[in-house]
């Protein structure tokens, strides 16, 4: 037998105007196991709360029912009152007689009757409630950041700044990401390297950051506060512990490969660092282009290395890390524009994509900063084509957000470097951002020709002698309504930013959802843009959607704060109203394992029954309804509790 106290609130006249409170109280007082029923003008007020606390002690109540406003309003308030009075908070039941009773009818009889039914249901349910104890688990204090572009670098630095250990995992041989490839950044035109390399160096110097380059995440297990992350260290064939970064090996190496960093516009050695300011400064050997690996002979690097750091026998190895939180900052890929044959990329050498032109601008790039085309000429006229693959149903429907601005930047740099004619072919000029519209305005004054129309075709088919030797960009200049043929020396495409080719694999490992393109889904587009559906995993930068550097850095800083809210606690409170399996009743059908979006249930193959990891459980009850044997108990919403409430409600 339980001892239930019922407290009915007038809420001033909000309830009392339509519900005959005294009649309801009298009704409640006569329900079985109800020891005391009281009414009060404002139960949520301090005296109201004191009334409840007093009655709990006075009548030795072990359940309380508050009939007042919606539980979404004051459930927390009354739970606190109960806890303070020594009653477990889960033994509080709120009956909603305001939002779902007194406010939605004017008929006193009807409202009073419904209030009674609702209280009756609550009494039925309350008898079956059980105290629940919040449990705490230890939290691993470390954070894994996946991706060493500007987003990952920023996140790692912020977390390290408060003294927490960070593992920064980068799959290429250096951190820096796409930003390291850029020459200038819009709209301020600061030199990208000048603002990025100090940060890269800071990563290297920071004792709280363990830099794991040439590494990939192989497996993620566990849950918020307790992740087990397995990292694959790809074989570098160079022992970085021994290497002193003299780079004599690079100089001597006869092997040649296409420089990924220079977008294939230059060669690199088989043993290489991607670019001079790479972090770390120590090289790796690319098996595919190494003479020794191809022909079995050479070993020049080994001969030259005084440190004896070359190790051709090196194999992939694995590093296991325990982490409290994970930040995914895996960035983007540029869309492959070759399939869009109308723009001639790959067919005409004078057609470049955005990252290629970035490298041409860069003084450390393949042309030492001169805009020189593949045939050695300096272009005297250039067309920049916006929205290649973006805002396009046939490719990517979204706006890639950064292309308008970097196209303006290209126009500026091209003007500056070539003094040639520059055309911008755009659909809509999107310059929303601090200083962006001003930058657009500046470019208009720089005598760049803006043509409102999406380029239709890039062709070599000339129509008159002036067009000879040029590429012709065909476009409807929509503002005049005239068809334009623009003869140019060079064409620059602004392709869509798209998710990494393997974003889906990463999403699977981290249990993230992706949108229809493959970008990682945030938990809420407005109110939780850095969180994901998996607690403890956060996202930053272009892996969530196309983004420019300022937005990426802001997100990265935010994601660091999010990760810190988890790892700054030694212990973490777990949801108490979770599900559990009554092993004796489990028939091992696996329904729960199949349906749970949080992977909380798993099969104990030995015992043939399922088990629920309560740290992962969110208490939705999906599994309980899928369980044919009623073996799953959803605490606070058990089958008996729900059905008892139904029974109580249907009595009146």
Q: Does 348 bind another protein (CB under 8 A)?
A: no
**Facing residues of 226 across strands?**
223
State which residue, 100 or 363, has the beta carbon closest to another protein: 100
Q: Nearer Cβ to another protein, position 261 or 519?
A: 519
* By the rule CB under 8 A, 642 interacts with another protein: yes
Stretch that binds another protein, among 295-303, 404-412, 434-442, 633-641 (CB under 8 A): 633-641
CA 25 to chain centre: 51
Identify residues 576-605 at the interface with another protein (CB under 8 A). 577, 585, 587-591, 594-595, 597, 603
Q: Residue 46 or residue 394: which is nearer to another protein going by CB? A: 394
Among 166, 175, 429, 475, binds another protein (CB under 8 A): 475
Residue of the chain from 13, 29, 72, 204 that contacts another protein (CB under 8 A): 72
CB burial string 378-400: b at 16+ within 10 A, e below: ebebbbbbbbbbbbbeebbebbb
Contacts of another protein in 267-296 (CB under 8 A): none
Binding mask 22-61 for another protein (x = CB under 8 A): ----------------------------------------
Please answer whether residues 28 and 88 qualify as being in contact, where contact means their C-beta atoms are separated by less than 8 angstroms: no
Distance of closest approach, residue 79 Cβ to another protein, in angstroms: 15
Kindly report the number of other CB atoms within 10 A of residue 454's CB atom: 17
Question: Of the two residues 113 and 353, which places its CB atom closer to another protein in the complex?
Answer: 113
Site membership for another protein, residue 501 (CB under 8 A) = no
Interface with another protein, residue 515, by CB under 8 A: no
**Read out DSSP for 507-547?**
HHHHT--B-TTSPBPPSBTTTBSSB-SSTTEEE-GGGTS--
In the region spanning residues 138 to 197, those forming contacts with another protein, defined by CB under 8 A, are: none
Residues 365-394 that bind another protein (CB under 8 A): 387, 391-394
Q: Does 100 interact with another protein (rule: CB under 8 A)?
A: yes
Q: What is the CA radius of gyration of the chain?
A: 33
Closest CA to 96 of 77, 115, 79, 111: 115
Give me the 105-144 binding string for another protein, x by CB under 8 A, dash otherwise: xxx--xx-xx--xx--x-----------------------
Among 455, 512, 549, 556, binds another protein (CB under 8 A): 455
Measured CA distances, 104 to 17, 64, 147 (Å): 12, 25, 53
Query: Do the Cβ atoms of 5 and 38 come closer than 8 Å?
Result: yes
Nearest residue to 369 (alpha-carbon basis) of 421, 408, 334, 416: 416
Residue selected from 22, 244, 342, 441 as contacting another protein according to rule CB under 8 A:
342
Q: Which residue has the tokens 């990292």?
A: 231
Burial class (CB in 10 A: 0-12, 13-18, 19+), 41: middle
Q: Does 457 bind another protein (CB under 8 A)?
A: yes
Beta bridge partners of 425: 385, 451
**Chain position carrying tokens 């399996």:** 581
499 vs 648, which CB is nearer to another protein? 648
The answer to whether residue 357 forms part of the interface with another protein (CB under 8 A) is no
Q: Name which of residues 415 to 454 contact another protein (CB under 8 A).
A: 427-428, 452-454
């Amino acid at each position: 037998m339980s001892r239930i106290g019922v407290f009915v609130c007038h809420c001033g006249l909000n309830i009392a105007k339509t519900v005959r409170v005294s009649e309801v109280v009298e009704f409640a007082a006569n329900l079985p196991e109800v020891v005391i029923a009281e009414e009060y003008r404002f139960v949520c007020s301090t005296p109201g709360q004191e009334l409840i606390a007093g009655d709990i002690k006075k009548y030795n109540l072990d359940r309380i029912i508050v009939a007042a406003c919606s539980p979404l309003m004051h459930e927390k308030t009354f739970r606190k009152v109960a806890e303070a009075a020594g009653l477990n908070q889960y033994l509080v039941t709120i009956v909603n007689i305001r939002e779902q009773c007194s406010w939605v009818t004017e008929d006193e009889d009807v409202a009073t009757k419904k209030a009674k039914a609702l209280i009756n249901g609550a009494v039925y349910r309350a008898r079956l409630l059980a105290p629940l104890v919040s449990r705490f688990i230890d939290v691993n204090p470390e954070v894994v950041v996946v991706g060493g572009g500007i987003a990952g670098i920023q996140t790692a630095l912020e977390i390290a700044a408060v003294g927490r250990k960070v593992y920064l995992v980068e799959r290429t041989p250096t951190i820096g990401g796409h930003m390291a490839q850029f020459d200038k950044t819009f709209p301020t035109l600061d030199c990208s390297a000048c603002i990025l390399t100090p940060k890269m160096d800071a990563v290297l110097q920071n004792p709280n950051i363990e830099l794991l380059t040439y590494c990939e995440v192989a497996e993620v297990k566990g849950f918020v506060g307790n992740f087990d992350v397995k990292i694959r260290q790809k074989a570098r064939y160079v022992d970085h512990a021994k290497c002193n970064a003299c780079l004599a090996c690079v100089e001597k190496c006869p092997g040649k490969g296409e420089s990924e960093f220079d977008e294939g516009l230059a060669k690199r050695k088989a043993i290489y660092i991607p670019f001079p300011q790479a972090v770390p400064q120590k090289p790796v050997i690319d098996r595919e282009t190494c003479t020794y690996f191809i022909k079995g002979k050479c070993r020049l690097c080994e001969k030259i290395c005084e440190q004896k750091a070359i190790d051709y026998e090196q194999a992939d190895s694995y590093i296991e890390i325990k982490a409290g939180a994970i930040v995914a900052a895996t960035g983007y890929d540029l869309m492959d524009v070759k399939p869009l044959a109308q723009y001639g990329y790959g067919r005409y050498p004078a057609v470049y994509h955005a990252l290629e032109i970035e490298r041409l601008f860069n003084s450390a790039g393949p042309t030492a900063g001169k805009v020189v085309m593949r045939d050695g000429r300096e272009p005297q006229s250039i067309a920049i084509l916006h929205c290649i693959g973006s805002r396009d149903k046939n490719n990517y429907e979204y706006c890639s957000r950064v292309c308008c601005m970097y196209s303006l930047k290209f126009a500026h740099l091209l003007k500056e470097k070539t003094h040639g004619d520059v055309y911008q072919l755009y659909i809509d000029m999107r310059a929303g951002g601090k200083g962006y519209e001003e930058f657009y305005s500046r470019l208009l004054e720089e005598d760049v020709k803006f043509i409102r129309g999406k380029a239709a075709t890039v062709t070599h088919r000339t129509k008159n002698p002036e067009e000879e030797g040029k590429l012709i960009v065909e476009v409807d200049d929509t503002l005049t309504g005239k068809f334009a043929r623009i003869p140019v020396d060079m064409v620059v495409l602004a392709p869509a930013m798209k998710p990494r080719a393997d974003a889906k694999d990463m999403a699977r490992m981290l249990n993230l959802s992706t949108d229809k393109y493959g970008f990682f889904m945030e938990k809420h587009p407005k109110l939780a843009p850095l969180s994901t559906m998996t607690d403890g995993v956060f996202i930053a930068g272009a892996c969530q959607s196309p983004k420019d550097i300022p937005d990426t850095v802001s997100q990265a800083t935010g994601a660091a704060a999010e990760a810190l809210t988890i790892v700054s606690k030694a212990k973490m409170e777990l949801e108490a109203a979770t599900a559990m399996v009554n092993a004796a009743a489990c028939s091992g059908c696996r329904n729960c394992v199949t349906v749970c979006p949080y992977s909380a249930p798993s099969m104990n193959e030995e015992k043939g029954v399922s088990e629920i990891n309560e740290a992962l459980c969110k208490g939705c009850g999906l599994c309980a309804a899928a369980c044919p044997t009623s073996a799953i108990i959803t605490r606070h919403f058990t089958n008996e509790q729900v059905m008892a409430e139904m029974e109580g409600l249907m009595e009146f």
